[in-house]
């Protein structure tokens, strides 16, 4: 990987003109925005060539990760498998990752997204990488590929109506069960185990390829785009304590500290009480959860050597995963207490 050190009087245009480089390619390689490319500092290191040289690359990829509202996901961490190797990359505040050169398109590509738990989840896979320069947008429910070799005009291969028919055929509606008796409540809707529908098509007017990414559609749970990072933790915690993900997410929406954009804050602190953390946990509630053997907080205390002091345990309230687990555990504690009181009457 070659670099260039910025000197006095340098600008991005002057550097590219002097070295015979493409200014847009260098801007993407260094994750520059239209504004930041005009503000270089003396001594700044610029990447002028990636790990794979442009001459050896069959395909050059630029990735961008967007949320459900088509807004960039800031600084996404991705792992890309290509050319028989793995490469971990991090995007900028615009969600852009540039400078991915593919030398052997026949080996395919697979892209993984790092979630809140630190695990990489596959969100895109293709056995053959398109030739040429490609700009790939990985969106919450849609992946679009735009490149200089993408067909923009041509005969329609498949209509929207036929695509909708295939989707309905693959995921048929479930019949509703009628309740027995007038006084009984209708049963809950049966769980529909539908697979994410993944199909590549070319739509009318040569519109780009579209693929559904299953990572953002699990459990039919709708979250604000800024809170998508908590999806996996909410679903796993809800299953652990026998709650519905929707109910736990609704409880979090009520209890969590939020900023102006509605994002749940891990380090939130209440002004009028001693509540701290994502779920605004009070010390008394935190103590009750710490004694419950089913909670993650109890497990962390047991595994920490030497045994942590109470002040240290209270500081753990700013851990989002522990805070979500503690909230669900506290719901179960209250339900058990309520049941016990009702049985004593």
Report the pLDDT value the prediction gives residue 286, as an integer from 0 to 100. Answer: 92
Of 178, 135, 139, 110, the residue nearest 28 (C-alpha): 135
Mean local confidence (pLDDT), 199-225: 56
Strands 143-147 vs 96-102: parallel, antiparallel or unpaired: unpaired
pLDDT of 338 strictly over 60: yes
Tell me how far apart the alpha carbons of residues 65 and 138 are, in angstroms, rounded to a whole number.
5
Of 233, 212, 79, the residue nearest 142 (C-alpha): 212
Confidence at 136, pLDDT banded by 50, 70, 90: confident
Of 278, 226, 272, the residue nearest 255 (C-alpha): 278
Most confident of 50-54, 75-79, 175-179, 190-194: 75-79
pLDDT of 61 strictly over 90: no
Confidence at 176, pLDDT banded by 50, 70, 90: low
Q: Which residue has the higher pLDDT, 49 or 281?
A: 281
Tell me how far apart the alpha carbons of residues 114 and 133 are, in angstroms, rounded to a whole number.
25
**Coil, strand, or helix at residue 180?**
coil
Q: How far is CA 301 from CA 240, 304, 307, 316, 323, in A?
A: 19, 5, 7, 10, 14
Report the pLDDT value the prediction gives residue 329, as an integer from 0 to 100. Answer: 92
Least confident of 168-172, 263-267, 334-338: 168-172
Q: Two tokens at 47?
A: 């990447």
Residues shown for the chain: 345
Q: How far is CA 67 from CA 140, 143, 226, 298, in A?
A: 5, 11, 8, 34
Report the pLDDT value the prediction gives residue 20, as an integer from 0 to 100. Answer: 75
Percent of the chain with pLDDT over 90: 9
Phi-psi sector, 257: left (phi>0), alpha (psi -120 to 50), beta: beta
Least confident of 74-78, 148-152, 178-182, 329-333: 148-152
pTM of the model: 0.40
Mean local confidence (pLDDT), 146-169: 59
Helix (H) or strand (E) holding 96: strand 96-102
**Coil, strand, or helix at residue 103?**
coil
The secondary structure of residue 317, as a DSSP letter, is G
Structural domains for the chain: 50-147 (2.60.40.1120), 225-344 (no CATH)
Confidence at 179, pLDDT banded by 50, 70, 90: low
Specify whether the CB–CB gap between 186 and 179 falls below 8 A: yes
Least confident of 41-45, 99-103, 244-248: 99-103
Give me the helix-helix angle, 231-240 and 245-255, nearest 10°.
120
Report the pLDDT value the prediction gives residue 201, as an integer from 0 to 100. Answer: 46
**291-325 tens-digit pLDDT:** 999 999 999 999 888 888 989 999 999 898 999 99
Alpha helices of 128-188 — where are they, by DSSP H? 160-170
pLDDT of 192 strictly over 60: no
Least confident of 58-67, 165-174, 181-190: 181-190
Mean local confidence (pLDDT), 41-51: 78
Q: Two tokens at 322?
A: 């522990």
Distance of CA 202 to the CA centre of its chain: 26
- Half-sphere exposure of residue 167, counting CA atoms within 13 Å on the CB side? 14
Least confident of 67-71, 193-197, 226-230, 336-340: 193-197
Report the pLDDT value the prediction gives residue 325, as an integer from 0 to 100. Answer: 94
**66-124 tens-digit pLDDT:** 877 778 888 888 888 888 888 888 888 888 887 777 877 778 888 888 877 788 888 88
Report the pLDDT value the prediction gives residue 180, as an integer from 0 to 100. Answer: 53
Report the pLDDT value the prediction gives residue 256, as an integer from 0 to 100. Answer: 85
Mean local confidence (pLDDT), 52-70: 72
């Amino acid at each position: 990987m070659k670099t260039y050190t910025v000197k006095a009087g340098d600008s991005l245009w002057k550097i590219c003109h002097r070295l015979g480089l493409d200014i847009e390619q260098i801007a993407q390689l260094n994750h520059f925005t239209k504004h930041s490319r005009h503000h270089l500092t003396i001594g700044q290191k610029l990447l002028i060539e990636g790990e794979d040289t442009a001459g050896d690359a069959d395909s050059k990829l630029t990735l961008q990760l967007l949320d459900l509202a088509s807004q960039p996901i800031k600084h996404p961490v991705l792992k890309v498998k290509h050319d028989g190797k793995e490469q971990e990359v991090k995007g900028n505040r615009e969600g852009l990752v540039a400078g991915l050169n593919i030398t052997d398109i026949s080996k395919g590509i697979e892209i993984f997204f790092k979630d809140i738990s630190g695990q990489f989840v596959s969100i895109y896979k293709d056995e053959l990488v398109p030739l040429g320069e490609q700009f790939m947008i990985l969106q919450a429910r849609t992946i679009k590929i735009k490149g200089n070799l993408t067909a923009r005009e041509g005969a329609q291969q498949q209509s929207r109506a036929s695509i909708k028919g295939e989707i309905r055929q693959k995921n048929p509606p479930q019949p509703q069960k009628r309740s027995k008796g007038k006084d009984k409540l209708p049963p809950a809707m049966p769980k529909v185990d539908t697979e994410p529908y993944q199909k590549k098509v070319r739509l009318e007017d040569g519109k780009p390829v579209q693929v559904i990414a299953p990572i953002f559609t699990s459990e039919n749970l709708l979250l604000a785009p800024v809170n998508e990072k908590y999806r996996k933790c909410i679903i796993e915690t809800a299953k652990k304590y026998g709650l519905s993900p929707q109910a736990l997410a609704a409880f979090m929406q009520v209890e969590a500290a939020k900023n102006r954009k509605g994002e749940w804050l891990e380090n939130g602190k209440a002004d009028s009480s001693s509540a701290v953390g994502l779920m605004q946990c009070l010390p008394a509630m935190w103590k009750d959860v710490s004694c419950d053997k089913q909670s993650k907080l109890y497990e962390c205390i047991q595994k920490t050597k030497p045994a942590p002091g109470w002040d240290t345990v209270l500081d753990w309230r700013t851990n989002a995963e522990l805070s979500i687990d503690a909230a669900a555990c506290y719901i179960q504690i209250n339900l058990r207490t309520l049941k016990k009181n009702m049985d004593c009457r």
